[in-house]
Amino acid sequence: MSNYFACLKPVESLKEYVSDIWIQKADPLDTINIFSPTRVLPNGNIELTFVVGCPIMEVCAKESFVLPMCTLNGQKTVFKDYAATGEVKTIIFRLYPWALTAFSKAPASDFTDKNINFNEVFKSSRVIQLQEELLVCGSIQMCVRVIENFLLENLCQNMIPRYIRDTMKLIYKYNGALPPHEIAERIETGERNMELYFKRFVGVSVKKFSTIIRFQMALKNSGLANENYFFPYYDQAHFIHETQRFTGLSPEQLKNLESKSILDSRFNKNSELYNTVYIQSPKIK
pLDDT at 256: 66
One-letter identity of residue 138: G
pLDDT at 29: 54
Reported as a single tens digit per residue, the pLDDT across 14-55 is 999 999 999 888 776 554 444 567 778 888 989 999 999 989
Q: Which residues of the chain have pLDDT under 50?
A: 1, 31-34, 225, 259-285
Burial class for 29, CB neighbours closer than 10 Å (0-12, 13-18, 19+) = exposed
What are the boundaries of each domain within the chain? 4-158+258-280, 162-247
pLDDT at 227: 52
The yes/no answer on whether domain 162-247 falls in CATH 3.30.230 is no
Classify residue 270 as left (phi > 0), alpha (psi -120 to 50) or beta. Answer: left
* Spatial distance between the Cα atoms of 113 and 77, rounded to a whole number of angstroms: 6
Q: Is 58 helix (H, G, I), strand (E, B) or coil?
A: strand
Reported as a single tens digit per residue, the pLDDT across 204-226 is 999 999 999 988 888 776 555 45
> CB-hemisphere CA count at 13 Å for 46?
28
pLDDT at 73: 96
Domain 4-158+258-280: which CATH number of 1.20.1440.230, 2.40.40.20, 3.30.565.10, 2.60.120.10: 2.60.120.10
pTM of the model: 0.85
